[in-house]
Structures are given as C-alpha cells and as structure tokens.
C-alpha cells in the first residue's frame, strides 16, 4: 500500500471526498492523534528543563508503541509492510512530531491536515512493501 500520488492530494482544489480520503491515511491519523498535544507544547519544551524533556520522551515513546502495535497488526493481515525495528517506528513518530510542531509554530499550513501527504510519504518511505 502506497500513499496516493501527491498530485491528487496536494492541490488546494481537492474535493471534499479527496480530503476525506486523505484524512484516513496513516499520516492524517498521526496528525489527528497528536494535534492538540502539539499545539499545547509547541512553545519550547527544550528550554523547559529535564522534567519536561522526560515527559516529552514518555509521550513520544507511548505514541511510538501504539503506532508499532497497529503496524504489526496491519502487517499480519498483509495490509502494509512492517517497520524494520522499534527505532524505525520511533523515528517516524519523532519526525512527524517535529514537523507538525514546527509548522504549527510557523502557522503554515493553516490546517495541519494539509501536512498529511508529507507524512504519508515519510511513513511509506520507511515501510517495505507489503508481502504479496
């Protein structure tokens, strides 16, 4: 399973049906799950001290564990390839978190779901093809 071609989803003139289809992709699911937390934490966890960094690490690890478990279940059903290691899963979650956090701080795009195609390409780029 691969993400839809970017020409189908990157266009600002995408239809509501296309936007809904995109909102059901792995990247959109990640966005929807963490959008509120990212918005609350977008202003500098790094400068907030070691306790905040530990909390951030716990949140990211918990989220990576959930993503990894969902990926394992989907891979068993032959729907998608399996992440090579838990570090691959954590790398995907960390990259998405940083991307969304940065873009929220910058205010671009206005709707964080517009990042879904980028996240889909990231995730699908890390995953091997599903077994035939």
Mean pLDDT within 100-126: 90
pLDDT above 60 for 75: yes
- Domain spans of the chain? 22-37+50-126
CB atoms within 10 A of CB 90: 18
* pLDDT at residue number 63: 93
pLDDT above 50 for 20: no
* pLDDT at residue number 28: 55
3-class SS of residue 31: helix
* pLDDT at residue number 53: 87
pLDDT above 60 for 11: no
* pLDDT at residue number 26: 59
* pLDDT at residue number 3: 43
Which token pair is 115? 């990042």
């Amino acid at each position: 399973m691969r993400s839809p071609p970017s020409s189908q989803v990157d266009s600002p003139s995408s239809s509501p049906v296309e936007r809904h289809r995109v909102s059901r992709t792995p990247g959109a699911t990640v966005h929807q799950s963490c959008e509120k937390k990212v918005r609350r934490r977008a202003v500098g966890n790094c400068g907030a001290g070691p306790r905040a960094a530990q909390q951030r690490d716990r949140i990211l690890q918990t989220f990576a564990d959930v993503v990894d478990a969902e990926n394992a279940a989907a891979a068993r059903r032959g729907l998608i390839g399996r992440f090579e290691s838990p570090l691959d899963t954590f790398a995907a979650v960390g990259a998405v978190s940083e991307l969304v956090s940065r873009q929220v701080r910058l205010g671009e795009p206005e709707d964080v779901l517009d990042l879904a195609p980028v996240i889909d390409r990231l995730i699908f780029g890390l995953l091997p093809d599903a077994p035939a």
